[in-house]
A = this chain, B = another copy of it.
């Protein structure tokens, strides 16, 4: 179990956002793993996150309901795969809680936190089934959207 991470993003299929964040990684972890914090930053404005439910363990529920500027609700249901406190969080919508295969898999998310000086080297990856999945995510605005959400996370963490 001490082998290096098995997650290897493929540039043809996957999307990666990496940034240095001037916030300690334990606060980044808390913002990523607590519903009351998630709803504050998870979706780039004017979108919002209306609900969040978390059972923080492998196979445990990660559920959100996002709301578009027009008020349309977009529920997301998935589960966690790896939970390494302050270090790495892996979740997917390919499996529902309890590891049940889902109807509409889109991606596996991997967020990593490494201490760098007084801050955190943050990496977020989206692992897709195929090139179409990557393209769809790009067109949904992965880089801009995940980047803006990260700005919101940082702003929120500084109020914690």
Answer yes or no: A119 CB below 8 A from chain B CBs: no
Residues of chain B with a CB closer than 8 A to A13's CB: 100
What 0/1 pattern do residues 127 to 152 of A give for CB contact below 8 A with B? 11110010000000000000000000
Answer yes or no: A105 CB below 8 A from chain B CBs: yes
Task: Known contacts A82-B58, A98-B7, A100-B128; decide if A105 and B108 are in contact (CB<8 Å).
Answer: no
Residues of chain B with a CB closer than 8 A to A101's CB: 92, 94, 105-108, 127-129, 133
Residue pair B129, A103 in contact (C-beta under 8 Å) = yes
Residues of chain B with a CB closer than 8 A to A7's CB: 59, 98-99
Residues of chain B with a CB closer than 8 A to A8's CB: 98
A43-62 CB contacts (< 8 Å) to partner B: 55, 57-60
Residue pair A129, B100 in contact (C-beta under 8 Å) = yes
Question: How many copies of this chain?
Answer: 2
A10 to chain B, nearest CB (A): 8
Residue pair B99, A55 in contact (C-beta under 8 Å) = no
Residue pair B97, A94 in contact (C-beta under 8 Å) = no
A52 to chain B, nearest CB (A): 18
Answer yes or no: A27 CB below 8 A from chain B CBs: no
Answer yes or no: A3 CB below 8 A from chain B CBs: yes
The 7 closest A-B pairs by CB, nearest first: A101-B105, A94-B101, A6-B59, A101-B129, A99-B108, A94-B94, A7-B98
Could you list which residues of chain A lie within 8 angstroms of chain B, going by C-beta atoms? 1, 3, 5-8, 13, 55, 57-60, 81-83, 90, 92, 94-95, 97-103, 105-108, 110, 127-130, 133
